[in-house]
Structure 1
Amino acid sequence: MEFRVRDYEEEEAIYSLWPRISTIGDHPLITRNLSSSIKVDVADSGKNDFYDPLRMPTAHIQDNTADDLPCDEDPYLSAKEWASFKRSLMQKFSGSKLVTISSISDAILRRGKVYEISSAATHAEELDNPRKASEDGVKVITCQEYVSRLREFQDEIKHAWKADDRVTSLKSSIKVARLLLDTSVSEFYPTLFILVTDVMDILGDMVWDRIKRKAEYVDDGTLICSLQENFGTSDVCSDAKETCYNWFCKIGSIRELLPRIYLELSILRCWRFLHEHPWKILHRVVMMIRGLADPLASYYCRLYMVYCAQKLLSPDTGYLVACITDMTIILRRIISEEETMSKRLVEHNVSLISLLEPPLEWIIKSICMEAYKKRQYEDIFVKLQLGRGLSNSSGTSECISIIIHHFLKELPAELVCSHASFILQLIESANDISLNQYLNYRLLGLKLSEQKSRVDNVDSVLGTVFQVITQYSRLDEYVKVVDAFLDIVLQYNMDNYLTIILDGISIRTRSKEITGNELSSLQSIIVKLLAHFNLVEDVLALNHFLEIIHVMHGSSRDVVNMHILDKGTRNGYICDPTTVQMLFDISQTLHDCPDTFSVKADHNEQQAHLISRFVQLVDYGAAMERHLTFLVECRGAFGRISELKEVLVRSSNKLAMKAIKDANNPVDFVKSCIAFNEVTIPSISATAKRMNLYLETVEVSLFSGLVCHADGLVYSAIDCLQSVDQSEGLLLQNDSNGVLSWIQKLCSLLVIIPGNPEQGVAYCPGTILALVESHSWITPQLRLRVFCTILSLLATLSQNKLPYHAYDAEVVGNDRLFYGDPSYHQELASLSSSVLTKVIDGVLQEPNRVIRGNLALEACNYVLSAYKATSEISTICSKLMEIAKSCLNANDKYMRNTVKYLDKHMSNTLGDATKPVVST
């Protein structure tokens, strides 16, 4: 068998494409006026069902301002919001595991499992009752048992109702409502409020459904009418009205005030059956609640009233204003005479105010929702005596800090921006124990930062705020306020305030351990600075910036370091040596963190990617030896990052190529780069990455004329595949095309690399052949294609002129090195004969018939392209075609084309007298 002689230059000329001609005309997606012959105007066709994603729909954009409320939006706080509010309330005030109960909670005392503990073992703060603490014993119950008992009451009410025993349901409900009289354990009261009002809601729903059914049906079930959502009293029959009135009379006869109020509130919406304007009842209820002396009980009673009043769809906000006014009076009484109170009493009042805050928050949210709907913020401020109003802000009255806080939280940002000076005056006037004043300054800053538009008197506002906060000695308060105002400082480029902020942080962080809350605020400040400046060098140059970073620790320090790395790698190559060293130190801190690369996989992957990107972007310019030293330092510093090792090798190859193109650099530097790769690549665990890097480095070696290095790297690449174990091999089976690509690339490089006279030119191809035969994970399909690749390699090496040579002219190709050497061609022919035998066996090993047939055709084409047409080759091809014919359909296009090519090839070579090898 002889290899086919090929003229690669002539083949390239024959099979090359015709000269390419650029197209004429615009891109079809460019918007342009169509000619008059094609009258298609999509924009004005009057059809709205066409949407062009490449066209800016500016003509159809509607300018919806932030003040416009959609017409179908519910102006009241939804049931979903109420449910969320209740969950947060129970989580915030979960209380202790044991609940102290008094004689007021007689229902719980009689039926619940009760324990007695000595007063000495009970904290006075939990009891919140000096008289109770002096008793010999205190009765307690677990929270779980308390809740279980209330669930029993709930079931009793439902069962009695289903049994038409309305009296028992009402009596049980009264017992449940009486529990809210007990405020002795204040921390448990919010939870108790939620549990009791859930029972009240159940009773209210059952009463409502009963009266509504009486209004719609007679006793025998005959439908009278169907009440609409907005029904009036004229739509309700007298029987239903009488039943409704009877319920209010029963509730009105309850002796104790608080249970009577809660029961009436539970059926409050039933007033719709009796009055055309049921919300007018709310004024009477407000007056009744004023009779509750206990602040805690009265606050939460008002909260339930506001929740129930929403079901009346009241157009009047008077009851809300009255509630806030009454609650303010109570708050003033609690915080009054602060200077004369003992420290313990002040702490008690602060604790009490925290319990009163949730009702205050919900009611303020409700009143602001109404004000937003009606655009009556001015009116609300006047009615609540919060200054003279937004339009005339020349004077303000003394306000309570916590009330200002929750109003400010609910006001729209645009309103706060346009009246910033007035709101600042309100905050300045509110300085009491109800809420730390810095929280209001912080909230003001956050509100002002929400709007990108001009802030009213921004310089004056900032000047006033900074005069106050510079007096703060605590770092936590200082950083929280400046963090809120930093966006405005950066937006208006107020460098003087930025200097004040950084100086203030530096002073307050000296000789002080930073707490978690302070770290969070410092992190936010630094991230905002990094986002504002375009270059990381500008941020690093800020006064005290590096000093502030050094005092940070833990996860906040890691987050800041990641943001600095991200910023440093966003603007292309990093050339400044100082910046490189700074980012290197930051990367090393991240890498050496104990938590890094251990728990949070996504977070750690991001860190590894940032460090790798930093190393990839470093550029020392002409100082290439310093760059290689940097890569060596990175390999030692970041040994745990697998991704980085690949970056290091590619960077080293890039340096080598740069040195090759630079005539002033000696070849020794290129050798150093390749030696660096030879040490680094074996430490990479993934076989695929190792193979790709070995092949890439072989190309660099050949480009620089380093044949010995190229030989060693080729052997290393073969060893890399040889060392694949069974488990990894099964994974590589899924990427058989990738494995074949490596071997094909390796064979293409062997065309350039001169053969070793001692080992023989067929040594490397033979080693590859032995490799694919020895591994069981290599599939028959992959094995056959490797055989065909080796055949192509041997056929190429047999040519008198190779298709390509090394870039370096000093690398002598095999066509010149072994020219006219008969032993060279004999060695190639011997190996090819062995491979050719394995090709047919490889085809037969494939179990799938269709794949086996296609492999036979593929092998036949390889053989025809590699060998001259001889009788021996004709016999081999005939066997392959018979296999294909037995496995594939006779009309298979691939098979028919192969038959035509085979007949033509054999006829041209052996003569016209030769009969076709295979007929269809």
Structure 2
Amino acid sequence: MSAEWRCVRRNQDECRRYLDQFKVFDHPLKQSSITVLESKGTRAKALASLSESTSGASSTISLDPLSLALDGSDPLSAFAARQGSDPLSQMAAEFDGGSPVAKSGASASQKKSREVSCLLDMELIEPWGARRGAILNKYTTNEKLSIVTSFLNGGETIKSQTTMSEKVKYRLEQLDEFEEGTVRQMLDLSQQEYVVKIEQLNHELGQAWNTDQRVKALKIAIQCSKLLADTSVIQFYPSKFVLITDILENFGKLVYERLLVKGEYVRPGSKHPGPLPDNFTPDMVPESARETCQNWFYKIASIRELLPRLYVEMAILKSYRFLTANEFSTILMRLTRMIRGIGDPLVAVYARCYLCRVGMAITTDREYIKENLNDILDIYHTILNGGIRAEI
């Protein structure tokens, strides 16, 4: 037996309930407050626990529980008040030369007392040591690696080619090779074995320098720079970049310290030569040290291949202090434009990163950084392009 359902019509007028309406002067969601007026009478004594103000003063008690809990300010506002301004705002202000407020007399005196010689002194940039370990831990690989060297034992000897054009090319390349031994290629190296070989090269460089074999040390630096042209294992390239630049920085430090030793000069009022001060100028450098410094840059300029020539010059960039004091911006811009000649966009980007890193340690100029950033943005879409990588 089926039942038939029918809807009962409802009289809305009878069911409607009207709420009492009254006029208000404050928004219902507005923060509530109670104003307590104190006088000299009994009421002031009763409210003495709420206020310590004098006669006729008034105080406002907030009823917002969040404001009461946070003492009237949210955590982010309190943090900003303690910090003054965030690091990005500080960097932007210094990048643009400071705001009008920063150009006032008080700020001008602070700037004058805080003269810096490089961007790293501003303490706004993360130290390289902090990034180095993170890169080595993140970018690893299980693929086999290879290394070309003439200073380590083992590996297969690289043979010359048979065609006439390849013979000519091979003979030209021999001008850049090493007289100490045969160039060998080590294949099928694991990541750990590769790191050990690189550390051995770094040790060989230091040992050659300590035994006064400067040319051999330079050639090891050149050979290590050439390894950065190999991008066959892309996921390991950042770690390779870190390992190779460690060797280059070691080489640049050795050259700089050697020039400091040769740069002893006679201080005014003294009869005996002494070491150069930390803030020395080129006019304090003796002629012998200047000639040695120029010879280093002449040797580097004679390197035939672009990539090692760039990296080795960037490694000893700080040594330009012995020759000039106000041409770092010009030198950095020249190197910035030379990097445009590197065919592999990935290799070019890392070369620009290294240039910016060494440049920040010698000057406060930022024009070369903007130029490198613009060049990176121009080629960024080609870095991991499959067709371009296959063509390379």
Question: Scaled by the length of structure 1, what TM-score is found?
Answer: 0.26
1:238–1:159 CA distance, 2 compared to 1 (3 A): same
Answer yes or no: is 1:156 the counterpart of 2:204. Answer: yes
Contact kept? 2:346, 2:383, Cα under 8 Å? no
Identity among equivalent positions (%) equals 33
Secondary structure of 1:259's partner?
helix
What letter is aligned with 2:144?
A: V
Answer yes or no: is 1:171 the counterpart of 2:222. Answer: no
Aligned match of 2:352: 302
Aligned mates of 2:83, 2:220 — CA distance in 1 = 56
Shift of 1:271: 0.8
Answer yes or no: is 1:89 the counterpart of 2:135. Answer: yes
Instruction: Tell me which of the two structures has the higher relative contact order, counting C-alpha pairs closer than 8 angstroms and 6 or more residues apart.
Output: 2
Q: CA RMSD in A?
A: 3.5
1:240–1:189 CA distance, 2 compared to 1 (3 A): same
Aligned match of 2:149: 107
Contact kept? 1:279, 1:314, Cα under 8 Å? no
Q: Which runs of 5+ in 2 are unaligned?
A: 1-50, 55-80, 95-109, 157-185
Answer yes or no: is 1:188 the counterpart of 2:236. Answer: yes
Contact kept? 1:113, 1:141, Cα under 8 Å? no
Aligned mates of 1:301, 1:252 — CA distance in 2 = 17
Answer yes or no: is 1:142 the counterpart of 2:142. Answer: no
- Deviation per residue, 1:597-634 (Å, 9 max, x gap): xxxxxxxxxxxxxxxxxxxxxxxxxxxxxxxxxxxxxx
Aligned mates of 1:182, 1:145 — CA distance in 2 = 17
Q: Which runs of 5+ in 1 are unaligned?
A: 1-29, 34-60, 115-137, 337-344, 350-920
Contact kept? 2:265, 2:273, Cα under 8 Å? yes
Shift of 1:110: 6.3
1:183–1:163 CA distance, 2 compared to 1 (3 A): same
**Residues 25-36 of structure 1 aligned to structure 2 (within 5 Å):** none
Shift of 1:300: 0.7
Contact kept? 2:261, 2:275, Cα under 8 Å? no
- Deviation per residue, 1:24-70 (Å, 9 max, x gap): xxxxxx9999xxxxxxxxxxxxxxxxxxxxxxxxxxx9995555688
Shift of 1:89: 1.7
Aligned mates of 1:32, 1:109 — CA distance in 2 = 85
What letter is aligned with 1:245?
A: Q
Shift of 1:291: 0.8
Aligned mates of 1:63, 1:185 — CA distance in 2 = 44
**Residues 396-795 of structure 1 aligned to structure 2 (within 5 Å):** none
- Deviation per residue, 1:380-428 (Å, 9 max, x gap): xxxxxxxxxxxxxxxxxxxxxxxxxxxxxxxxxxxxxxxxxxxxxxxxx
**Residues 261-272 of structure 1 aligned to structure 2 (within 5 Å):** 261-272=310-321
Contact kept? 1:295, 1:330, Cα under 8 Å? yes
Aligned mates of 1:279, 1:314 — CA distance in 2 = 9
1:77–1:155 CA distance, 2 compared to 1 (3 A): farther
1:32–1:92 CA distance, 2 compared to 1 (3 A): same
**Residues 304-323 of structure 1 aligned to structure 2 (within 5 Å):** 304-315=354-365, 317-323=366-372
Secondary structure of 2:263's partner?
helix
Secondary structure of 1:140's partner?
strand
What letter is aligned with 1:87?
A: G
Answer yes or no: is 1:281 the counterpart of 2:331. Answer: yes
Aligned mates of 1:31, 1:233 — CA distance in 2 = 69
Aligned mates of 1:62, 1:139 — CA distance in 2 = 57
What letter is aligned with 1:232?
A: T
Shift of 1:224: 2.5
Shift of 1:75: 2.2
Q: How many residues align?
A: 255
Question: Scaled by the length of structure 2, what TM-score is found?
Answer: 0.57
Aligned mates of 1:76, 1:62 — CA distance in 2 = 19
What letter is aligned with 2:122?
A: P
- Deviation per residue, 1:5-28 (Å, 9 max, x gap): xxxxxxxxxxxxxxxxxxxxxxxx
- Deviation per residue, 1:862-883 (Å, 9 max, x gap): xxxxxxxxxxxxxxxxxxxxxx
1:77–1:260 CA distance, 2 compared to 1 (3 A): farther
1:288–1:163 CA distance, 2 compared to 1 (3 A): same
What letter is aligned with 1:84?
A: A
1:273–1:63 CA distance, 2 compared to 1 (3 A): same
Shift of 1:255: 1.4
- Deviation per residue, 1:135-193 (Å, 9 max, x gap): xxx94211111111111111111111111111111111111111111111111211111
Aligned mates of 1:109, 1:231 — CA distance in 2 = 37
Aligned match of 1:212: 260
Contact kept? 1:113, 1:145, Cα under 8 Å? no
Contact kept? 2:265, 2:276, Cα under 8 Å? no
- The answer to which structure has the higher strand fraction is 2
Aligned mates of 1:189, 1:203 — CA distance in 2 = 21
**What is the aligned counterpart of 1:328 among 344, 355, 377?**
377
Aligned mates of 1:347, 1:255 — CA distance in 2 = 25
Aligned mates of 1:187, 1:63 — CA distance in 2 = 39
- Deviation per residue, 1:653-709 (Å, 9 max, x gap): xxxxxxxxxxxxxxxxxxxxxxxxxxxxxxxxxxxxxxxxxxxxxxxxxxxxxxxxx
Aligned match of 1:293: 343
Contact kept? 1:215, 1:224, Cα under 8 Å? no
Aligned mates of 1:287, 1:346 — CA distance in 2 = 25
**What is the aligned counterpart of 2:250 among 202, 206, 218?**
202
Contact kept? 1:99, 1:188, Cα under 8 Å? no
**What is the aligned counterpart of 1:260 among 309, 318, 323?**
309
Aligned mates of 2:311, 2:83 — CA distance in 1 = 46
Higher Cα Rg: structure 1 or 2? 1
1:243–1:76 CA distance, 2 compared to 1 (3 A): farther
Aligned mates of 2:189, 2:383 — CA distance in 1 = 30
1:154–1:334 CA distance, 2 compared to 1 (3 A): closer
**Residues 731-880 of structure 1 aligned to structure 2 (within 5 Å):** none
